[in-house]
Amino acid sequence: MLLEGKIGVVLGVANKRSIAWAIAKRAVEEGAQLVLTYQNERLKENVVELAKDLTPSPLLLPCDVADEKQIDALFAGIREKHGGLDFLVHALAFARREELDGSFLNTAPEGFRIALEVSAYSLVGLARRAVPLMEGRKGSFITLTYLGSERAVANYNVMGVAKAALESSVRYLAADVGPMGHRVNAISAGPIKTLAASGVSGFSKILDVVKEKAPLRRNVDALEVADAAIFFLSDLSRGVTGEVLFVDAGFHAIGF
C-alpha cells in the first residue's frame, strides 16, 4: 500500500461529493491514518457520518481556516494524537456568491480579501504549522486549483485570481520546504459537481463545453483526481515538487 504507516490531514470534506472526500477514501485504502476537519457545526454532522466508512477511524477536529486559533488547535490535536504528520491535503476555497456572478470589475474589496485569505493564504498558514510536525519525515502538501487561474472563465472572477495566488504559493512554498525534504504540489481539476462548484453561475454550461471540447470528450470525476492525489502523497512522486498537474481530460491543452 502506497501510504502505509503515514499520517495525513485532509481539509475540505463537506459531503460525499467532495473531492476531499474522494481523496480521503483513497488515502485510507492505501494505508494512511487520517485526520479530517470540518468548518463548523453545520458541516460536522456530514463529516461524522462519512467518517464511519473509514477504517481505521479518523480523528475529527474543527478548523475554520479564517480563525488562527482554530488552526493552532488543529495541529496541537494532531501532535497530541499522532505525534507527527506526513501529508496535508488542502482542498478548500471560498468566495462570496455575489463575487461569482457578473463582472470581475465589480469585485468588492472585502470580497477580494476573503477569497484570497481563505482560498490561497490558508495554505501558507497551514503549512507553517504542519512543517514542525514533519520533522524527520519527507512530507507532502497538495492543494486543488482550476484552469480559471490561467484563463478568464465566465463567473469564476475573484476565485480565478485566488487560484492564481494559490498556484504561486505552491511554488514559493516548494522552494522553502524543499531543503527540509518536503514537497508541495497542486492538482488542477476539471469541473466536477461539488458543493463549491454550485456557487459558480452557469456551471452546467462549463461541464457541457469541457465534455464537447476536451480530447477525451468527457468530464472527469472525483476519483480520478483522488488517484492523482495519491501519486503526489506517495513516494511515487518523490522527485516532483512545485508542480501543477492537470486532471481535466486534456481540456487545458486545447486552443480552438
Query: Residue 116 maps to which CATH number?
Result: 3.40.50.720
Name the percent of the chain lying above pLDDT 70: 99
Average pLDDT, the chain: 96
Q: Which of 38, 121, 146, 172 is catalytic?
A: 146
The residue behind cell 508542480 is 243
The residue behind cell 472585502 is 110
The residue behind cell 468548518 is 39
197, pLDDT greater than 80: no
Angle between helices 122-130 and 68-82 (to 10 degrees): 30
Q: Which among 38, 133, 119 is positioned nearest to 82, based on CA atoms?
A: 133
Does residue 199 fall inside a structural domain? Answer: yes
Does residue 182 fall inside a structural domain? Answer: yes
156 is known as an active-site residue: yes
**pLDDT tens, position by position, 117-168:** 999 999 999 999 999 999 999 999 999 999 999 999 999 999 999 999 999 9
Q: Which domain holds residue 26?
A: 7-248
Among 8-17, 158-167, 202-211, 227-236, name the one with the lowest average pLDDT: 202-211
- For residue 73, what pLDDT band results from cuts at 50, 70 and 90? very high
3-state secondary structure (DSSP) of residue 87? strand
Does residue 223 fall inside a structural domain? Answer: yes
Does residue 132 fall inside a structural domain? Answer: yes
Does residue 255 fall inside a structural domain? Answer: no
228, pLDDT greater than 80: yes
Q: How many domains does the chain have?
A: 1
Does residue 114 fall inside a structural domain? Answer: yes
Name the percent of the chain lying above pLDDT 90: 93
CB 187 within 8 A of CB 142: yes
Query: Using CA atoms, how far apart are residues 85 and 180, in angstroms rounded to an integer?
Result: 14
| Mean pLDDT value across residues 30-39 | 98
Query: Per the confidence metrics, is the pTM higher than 0.85?
Result: yes
* Higher local confidence (pLDDT), 198 or 42: 42
| Mean pLDDT value across residues 97-117 | 95
pLDDT at 195: 73
- For residue 102, what pLDDT band results from cuts at 50, 70 and 90? confident
| Mean pLDDT value across residues 85-90 | 98
Does residue 239 fall inside a structural domain? Answer: yes
Does residue 234 fall inside a structural domain? Answer: yes
First CA to last CA across the chain, in angstroms?
Answer: 42
